[in-house]
């Protein structure tokens, strides 16, 4: 938002965000705003603005206050805009570095800030990455209405996935991820959003049909999320992370998950996907 922010941030973000809302209004879409990089970094990764792997956000009240100030600014600026769907308070806090009680306190304050400006905008809270149970946020008593828990589902990064076959990856989707989603949906709490996933794994090779089966499993399971899902991203230099490339080259077939897709309103899935991909595309 600062036209001349300190490194590694860059100027022009606010103009890009204003343009995104104008474009969304022109095309009948809605936007999710995501605080992707908090001051001091909430997870030590480069996409959260850490230059040396440090995670200082949870240890500094100043950084936490600055993050809440950013939420206040964004909510005040866009709450009355008809293109706003929701505000995500923080992206991928680290389970190893961010204590649960501190995160719940931050989310509760952020929720109330958004409610000061809007009674209807969705407030989205991201699960901690690493060894954390998303049920901890469902049970956190953070907000009473229009609250969404954002889960990021990748068959990557963790050593558990390093030596899995294509069938192993697919079985993990149906056994672990499906069971978790069903439990979260039954909890009668916040809505559930699969805010990030890709049609990629740690296998060194895979045939087109194996990728199709893997994508079919993900669509079949993730379509049951009560708030919908979003693919990362619409365009990417890594082809299986590129939504458009996957569709054009028939590695991901959107009609594959039709059985689950019909269980929830179609506009919920499509709006969630379109607005989140728009935002991620703009900052990529």
Residues 6+ apart with CB under 8 A from 159: none
Q: Is 153 helix (H, G, I), strand (E, B) or coil?
A: coil
Alpha helices in 128-177 (DSSP H): 135-138, 166-172
Q: Distance of alpha carbon 181 from its chain centroid, rounded?
A: 15
Instruction: Divide the 284 residues of the chain into consecutive groups of 10 and give the mean pLDDT of each group.
Output: 68 86 93 92 88 93 96 96 96 96 98 98 96 92 95 91 92 95 92 95 90 96 93 90 94 68 41 36 31
Question: Closest Cα to residue 126, out of 77, 75, 91, 161?
Answer: 91
Residue 1 has a pLDDT of: 59
Question: Closest Cα to residue 87, out of 111, 57, 116?
Answer: 111
Helix axes 61-78, 100-117, angle to 10 degrees: 30
Contact 56, 40 (CB under 8 A): yes
Q: Which tokens hold the place of 242?
A: 């590129």
Q: Alpha-carbon distance 81 to 87, whole Å? A: 12
Residue 109 has a pLDDT of: 98
Q: Alpha-carbon distance 236 to 210, whole Å? A: 21
Looking only at Cα atoms, what is the longest distance across the chain? 51
Q: Determine if residue 178 is left, alpha or beta; phi over 0 gives left, psi from -120 to 50 gives alpha, anything else beta.
A: alpha
Give the global pTM. 0.88
Q: Which tokens hold the place of 158?
A: 């963790």
Contact 224, 182 (CB under 8 A): yes
Q: Alpha-carbon distance 60 to 66, whole Å? A: 10
Contact 149, 125 (CB under 8 A): yes
How distant, in Å, are the alpha carbons of 17, 45, 191, 201 from that of 132? 31, 18, 18, 21
Residues 13-283, CATH architecture: Alpha-Beta Barrel (3.20)
Residue 267 has a pLDDT of: 40
Q: What is the DSSP letter of 149?
A: E
Residue 254 has a pLDDT of: 85
Residue 49 has a pLDDT of: 79
Contact 83, 77 (CB under 8 A): no
Question: Closest Cα to residue 189, out of 240, 242, 135?
Answer: 135
How distant, in Å, are the alpha carbons of 8, 13, 84, 175 from that of 18? 21, 9, 11, 42
Q: Is 132 helix (H, G, I), strand (E, B) or coil?
A: coil
Q: Cα angle at 241 between 137 and 256, to 5 degrees? A: 80
């Amino acid at each position: 938002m600062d036209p001349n922010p300190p490194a590694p941030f860059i100027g022009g973000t606010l103009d890009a965000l204003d343009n995104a809302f104008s474009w969304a209004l022109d095309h009948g879409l809605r936007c999710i705003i995501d605080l992707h990089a908090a001051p001091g970094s909430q997870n030590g990764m480069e996409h959260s603005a850490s230059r040396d792997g440090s995670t200082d956000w949870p240890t500094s009240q100043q950084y936490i206050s600055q993050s809440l100030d950013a939420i206040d600014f964004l909510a005040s600026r866009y709450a009355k805009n008809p293109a706003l769907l929701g505000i995500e308070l923080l992206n991928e806090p680290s389970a190893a570095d961010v204590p649960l009680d501190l995160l719940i306190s931050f989310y509760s304050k952020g929720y109330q800030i958004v409610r000061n400006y809007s009674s209807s905008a969705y407030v989205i809270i991201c699960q901690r990455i690493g060894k954390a149970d998303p049920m901890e946020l469902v049970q956190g008593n953070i907000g009473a209405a229009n609250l969404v828990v954002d889960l990021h589902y990748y068959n990557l990064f963790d050593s558990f996935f390093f030596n899995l076959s294509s069938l192993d990856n697919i079985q993990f989707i149906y056994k672990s991820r499906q069971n978790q989603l069903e439990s979260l949906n039954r909890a009668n709490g916040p809505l559930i959003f699969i805010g990030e996933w890709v049609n990629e794994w740690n296998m060194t090779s895979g045939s087109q049909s194996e990728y199709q089966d893997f994508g079919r499993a993900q669509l079949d399971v993730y379509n049951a999320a009560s708030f919908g899902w979003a693919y990362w991203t619409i365009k990417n230099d890594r082809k299986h992370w590129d939504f458009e490339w996957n569709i054009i080259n028939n590695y991901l077939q959107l009609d594959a998950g039709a059985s689950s897709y019909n269980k929830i309103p179609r506009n919920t899935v499509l709006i969630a996907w379109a607005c989140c991909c728009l935002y991620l595309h703009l900052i990529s």
